Amino acid sequence: MRLLFLGDVVGKVGRNAVLEQLPTLRRRLAVDFCVVNGENSAGGFGITAKIAEEFYEAGADCITTGNHVWDQRELLATIDADPKMLRPANFPPGTPGRGAALLEAGDGRRVLVTNLMARLFMDPLDDPFAGIDAILADLAMPRDADAVIVDFHGEASSEKMAFGHYVDGRVSLVVGTHTHVPTADAQVLPGGTAFISDAGMCGDYDSVIGMKKEPAIHRFVRKIPGERLTPTEGIATVCGVFVVTDDATGLARSISPLRLGGRLQPAWPEAAE
């Protein structure tokens, strides 16, 4: 399969860039299944059902989130009705929404997508390592799913790397989100799982992780609350990864970074050529 994952969408400029570029990306890369992390797409904080529908219409097959999932309170009332939107699976039992979903690609192949949140420097949710074990307990590729994608939302690269090695050989892709900075460690691990510590954001990089610079700098310099952080309004870079899997095993054959537009050095997936 040919899988596309787009990192944290930040604010209106990130959202518009994804809506503009995703249909073309799906066509040029012959994408079978696409996941978008949308947790910062509503003014930099959370996501709404309306924005989610726009992503689906543009070509997203699934939307993942993270620690900002509930910033738009309306989502508490709507997330249960959306089978393609995930919140971290290691929220306590009884939390609205779902942490994993088995979804169909356009050609009928099945993709299990799950969203988990790390704990180091993050909110202390349930153990994500035990959480992924529970999700994968009765699942085998390709018998039960043709591919398995894990969005691991966390701050510390060490925890993300440990998690990637922990599930190596059991999933197709572990992609880190949350830090909004693309890392240079995209690789296929020894057991066949594609991995990257962070896919980066879809947003304006002339910023502090997508937010206007001055209020963010003020918080560090003064160490007192100041102006509310708001997304920048410049030109966005669309960041993510493109993964090709082996249909016989569900494991990865290749992973390539994607960076398109804006200020960052562009990167186009080699496997797409």
Query: Listing from the earlier edge strand, what are the strands of the sheet with 100-104?
Result: 100-104, 110-117, 147-153, 173-177, 194-196, 187-188
Question: CA 46, 119, 189, 64: dihedral to nearest 10 degrees?
Answer: -20
Closest CA to 103 of 79, 131, 84, 116: 84
Q: Please, which residues have CB within 8 angstroms of residue 135's CB and are 6 or more apart in sequence?
A: 89, 99, 100, 112, 114
Structure tokens that stand for 157 in this block? 């690269």
Catalytic position from the list 68, 153, 178, 180: 68
d(CA 128, CA 219): 31
Q: Is 244 helix (H, G, I), strand (E, B) or coil?
A: strand
d(CA 258, CA 29): 11
68 as an active site residue: the answer is yes
Catalytic residues, by residue number, are 68
